[in-house]
Structure 1
Amino acid sequence: MWMLILLFIVVLIIFGPGKLPDVGAGMGRAIREFRSASHEVTGAAVQATDTSAPAGRTAESNGVATAAQSTDRQPSLR
């Protein structure tokens, strides 16, 4: 808690009481834009993975098994 108070005092000294609301508003706007951009990227990634393998249509259901799926035993460590 004391670090936040110290940080607030340093910011107050650097920017002054007149600029402090502008600095806070700018930081809030930047955080909001970053969050919206990260949500867009996450949504696009989820949408891309949903469209690449439609429900009920996987390689295994098409009769094609991958090498990892067809191998039943683990390699020995000898």
Structure 2
Amino acid sequence: MPPSGRVRALVAGLGECGTGQDVDVLLPFLEHPSPRVRAEAVRAVRRLDGSITQLAGMLADPAPVVVRAVKQALRHETYAVPAARL
């Protein structure tokens, strides 16, 4: 497994088993060089009830996999993204 694959697995595991206190550990992974790690970090932050407004800024990420993860995370949070930005 490549190093980014291991990092992605660790982020996913923390997202599944962690608590709200672990969100701060996940935040640096939102800027990871690997798009798949960033997307997994988005899912993990959402699972742990992290800041939705911070995720909304990632709608402009150049990687489609990240944008899809953010859209999924924001699906029911209509207040998180101003309509003008969409």
Give the TM-score of the pair, scaled to structure 1.
0.23
Bigger Rg over Cα:
1
- Which structure is higher in RCO with an 8 Å CA cutoff and minimum separation 6? 2
Give the TM-score of the pair, scaled to structure 2.
0.21
